[in-house]
Structure 1
Amino acid sequence: MPDVTRIPTPHSYSAAVAAGDLVFLGLHRGSGATFDEQLHDAVRQVAATLEQCGAHLHDLVKVQVWLADIADLPAMEHAFVEHFPADGFPARMTATTQFWDEDCRVMLEGVAHRGAGRP
């Protein structure tokens, strides 16, 4: 049975759960006043969480993007091009939702693959 590592949050969920070669990311919400600021900060937080699990942003194989406003989709597309190489995009699902925090514009969650031989 693989070891399971959890990256705790002060809330009732983990920022990530690493099990075997997979890292399951819980919600990551960025800070900032604008959509772009929140999205780029959320991506930075995802990268930092993955580092704690022995993985990197380019190890992300699946990401779910939750938007408060579908009008932010073009900006999200542009940001993904900035953070990932053209041959390294994760599989992605984007949907809209209403967030509990009214100032929240975007949240990310996903799955990364650490590969064999990583901690």
Structure 2
Amino acid sequence: MIDRIETGARMSKIVRHNGVAYLCGQVGAGADVAEQTRDCLSRVDALLSRAGSSRDRMLQVIIWLADMADFDAMNAVWDEWVPEGAAPARACGEAKLARSELKVEIIVTAACAK
């Protein structure tokens, strides 16, 4: 069974299938990459909870940065957010994001609790 949560014409915010939650890409508000990353991860927390998952159940994360020069600043926020011993498989690359003010987008796949 496939469970779609907050489905619109273009995408669902969460899709669950076979005990795995796939979150749509999350962006955040803020003037710099650290603020945007914090806001983005707060949104990820809310979606993980809604999906029946949590940070310590993340399987894979893909992070897109508008500028790889922001890598260290993003990682400083990320490193404080990820539970010790529960780091997911992760990739990070540079990409042109949907709007010019966006500096980071995070895509999460996580195991559901049930």
Given the two structures, how large is their TM-score scaled by the length of structure 2? Answer: 0.91
Question: Which residue in the other structure is 2:33 paired with?
Answer: 35
Return structure 1 stretches of 4+ with deviation > 3 angstroms.
none
Contact (CA 8 Å) 2:37, 2:78: kept in 1 or not? no
Distance 1:95 1:111 in 2: 17
Q: Report sequence identity in percent.
A: 28
Q: Please state how far the C-alpha of 1:49 moved relative to its aligned partner.
A: 0.6
Question: Which residue in the other structure is 1:103 paired with?
Answer: 101
- RMSD value, Cα: 1.5
Distance 2:98 2:74 in 1: 21
Within the alignment, does 1:67 sit opposite 2:56 as a pair? no
Q: Please state how far the C-alpha of 1:31 moved relative to its aligned partner.
A: 1.2
Instruction: Give the number of aligned pairs.
Output: 114
SS at match of 1:76: helix
Contact (CA 8 Å) 2:55, 2:83: kept in 1 or not? no
SS at match of 2:74: helix
The letter for the 2-side match of 1:28 is Q
Distance 2:98 2:75 in 1: 24
Given the two structures, how large is their TM-score scaled by the length of structure 1? Answer: 0.88
Residues 87, 109 of structure 1: alpha-carbon distance in 2 compared, 3 angstrom cutoff? same
Paired residues for 1:1-119 under 5 Å: 3-8=1-6, 12-115=10-113, 118=114
Compare 105-114 and 77-86 and name the one that shifted more.
77-86
Cα deviations by residue, 1:38-62 (Å, 9 ceiling, x for unpaired): 1011111111011111111211110
